[in-house]
Amino acid sequence: MALPAKNLVQVAANSGLRAVAVRHSSQAPKVALLGAAGGIGQPLGLLLKQDPLVAHLALYDVVNTPGVAADLSHIDSNAKVTAHTGPKELYAAVENADVIVIPAGVPRKPGMTRDDLFNTNAGIVRDLAAVIAKASPKALIAIITNPVNSTVPIASEVLKKAGVYDPKRVFGVTTLDVVRSQAFVAELKGHDASKTVVPVVGGHAGITIIPLLSQTKPSTKFSDDEIAKLTPRIQDAGTEVVNAKAGAGSATLSMALAGARFANALVRGIKGEKNVQCAYVASDAVKGVEYFSTPVELGPNGVEKILGVGKVSAYEQKLIDASVAELNKNIAKGVAFVKGN
């Protein structure tokens, strides 16, 4: 009789061999959080610890992980918490993970764009992806680290080099743009925010963030003036928080909520509950660009279907068209970083 995958891993370990990288069963999902001691990582870890679908929460950072893990482990939810500190412990953190969430990196400060973070964060994502390629090549990878428009291509190129790339398994988390859009629309129109749905397409920076207000549910009418004010507010919402924190950080709490919501969606998909989320993925939804965020159907293999942008207004189509050149510049920068290193 064939041994279950879990037992095969144990046999390999007992025989002194490196355990074969496999995913846990959908009955006991392991989520690895890389950057767990940071400004986003700590509140995101708190939310993931409370997720009843998470069986094992592996926390990784370069410093301070044991304290965060000890704190979270005192919460009376079922997720087992493990701490992993420094590059030597990264393999164990991500090994056999079903979902890997990456908020690692430095945040924005006033006057900085997301692209200004590239020089530091590009190397961080590259190095994390290289270990994931060896330890957990079948994991679903959710990248929060900015600039997302570039870090998703960076991770993808590293996985391609290692021969384990699957475009259905690499995601840029754009959920915060959706969360913000829904909050702002509900506030403006007096809707119940928990029942307001606004898809956001494109990317995750500036003019590449395109809220499809015409597709708002429940069906909502906006004046041209409302659209002209709401769209840039959504696009610049991250800067609004950076400036309000006056050098003390970027959007950490709302990003943690968005990250936890997306991670939960990935786990639900793994468990067979197909659901639709917006995410920045390798996509042919828009001509002339390799990565684009649209609603996608999530399932056991990650992206099951790319649902595209749907019917959009003339104003939204102009924004989509205008985003392509900017996205291509961001993507090319990420690809060149990996190929040049």
DSSP string, 184-227: HHHHHHT--GGG-B--EEE-SSGGGEEE-GGG-BS-----HHHH
Q: Grade residue 4 by pLDDT with cuts at 50, 70 and 90.
A: very low
204 has catalytic annotation: yes
In this prediction, residue 224 has a pLDDT band, given cuts at 50, 70 and 90, of: very high
Determine if residue 268 is labeled as part of a ligand binding site.
Answer: no
- 146 labelled ligand-binding: yes
Per residue in 150-171, pLDDT tens?
999 999 999 999 999 999 999 9
pTM: 0.92
How many residues does this entry show for the chain?
341
pLDDT at 20 over 60: no
Which of 24, 56, 84, 204 is the catalytic position? 204
Q: What is the pLDDT of residues 275-321, one digit of tens each?
A: 999 999 999 999 999 999 999 999 999 999 999 999 999 999 999 99
Known binding residue 40? Answer is yes
pLDDT score of 337 more than 70: yes
DSSP state of 58: E
Residue 320, annotated as binding a ligand: no
The answer on whether 123 is annotated among ligand-binding residues is no
What does the block give as tokens for 116? 């200004």
Are the CB atoms for 277 and 293 separated by under 8 Å?
Answer: no
Q: Is 121 annotated as a binding residue?
A: yes
Mean pLDDT over 241-253 rounds to 93
List of domains in the chain:
30-174 (3.40.50.720), 175-334 (3.90.110.10)
Does 180 belong to an annotated binding site? yes
CA distance 91 to 96: 10
Average pLDDT score over the chain: 92
Select from 211, 206, 101 the least CA-distant residue to 147: 206
H helical segments located in the chain:
5-14, 41-49, 65-73, 90-94, 118-135, 148-161, 175-189, 224-235, 237-245, 253-270, 314-339
How far apart CA 280 and CA 292 sit, in angstroms, is 5
Is 169 annotated as contributing to ligand binding?
Answer: no
242-251, 260-269, 277-286: the lowest-pLDDT one: 242-251
Q: Is 23 annotated as a binding residue?
A: no
- 110-129 burial string, b = 16+ CB within 10 Å, else e? eeeebbebbeebbebbbebb
Write the single-letter amino acid at 90.
Answer: L
Tokens of 79: 């997720």
On whether 41 is known to bind a ligand per the annotation, the reply is yes
